Amino acid sequence: MNPSNARARPLAALIALVAWSGVLLQLYLSLRLTGSMGMSTAWGLAIYLGYLTVLTNILVAVAASSLLVWPDSAGGGFFARPTVLGGVTASIAFVGVAYFVLLRHAWNPQGLQLLADVLMHYVVPLLVVIYSAIALRRTSLRRTAPLWWSLYPVGYFIYVLVRGLFMGHYPYRFINASELGYALVLRHAVVLWVAFLGLSYGLMWLWRRLG
């Protein structure tokens, strides 16, 4: 995200606003729900931080805010790198696509929960992809870049399995090792990893075509 781009800067500000709104609204709703179930705030926060949607929206919010507020800082410079922007875009786009394909029929959110759901799964991914189309047009990235980007979902998968051993809680049913077994969960993870790579290469093709 290059804040010097006059067309991209207002969009980056909008992304920061929407992303922070989504994650903070979801935090409020999650803690309210877990509190009503007799769970502690710490336990509710741990559950909240188990979702890829939440973690990736936080990543987007931090990236956009760093570029707008501290563009000359180490963090601003890091997120301004085309390779980093590409990875952030691929990650949040994957969140949106995976949710639409796998999870949108699994529940029926209403009211404020529906608003948080739409912001984090649809609005933020769409805005970031549009932003990347402006910031990364004419940008050539290495063909190995998606492999490096995929370390993020792979790291998340390991994180979920480890925390599941201690908490007994898995954020998504298709990676619930206690219910499905590790062999099936690993197969699911491989399919999702391949899908992430396919999406990443598709985005790279889009950026080159726009150039």
- The domain locations on the chain are 8-210
Please give the angle made by the CA atoms of 61, 196 and 206, to the nearest 5 degrees. Answer: 80
Angstrom distance (rounded) from CA 95 to CA 120: 9
Q: What is the pLDDT of residues 123-139, one digit of tens each?
A: 999 999 999 999 898 88
Provide the whole-model pTM. Answer: 0.93
Please give the angle made by the CA atoms of 193, 170 and 162, to the nearest 5 degrees. Answer: 75
Please identify which residue in the block is written with the tokens 């970031």: 128
Tally of CA atoms within 13 A in the half-sphere of 188 that contains its CB: 15
- Please say whether the beta carbons of 203 and 132 come within 8 A: yes
Q: What is the pLDDT of residues 163-186, one digit of tens each?
A: 999 998 999 999 999 999 999 999
Average pLDDT in the 101-118 region?
Answer: 94
Count the residues in the chain: 211
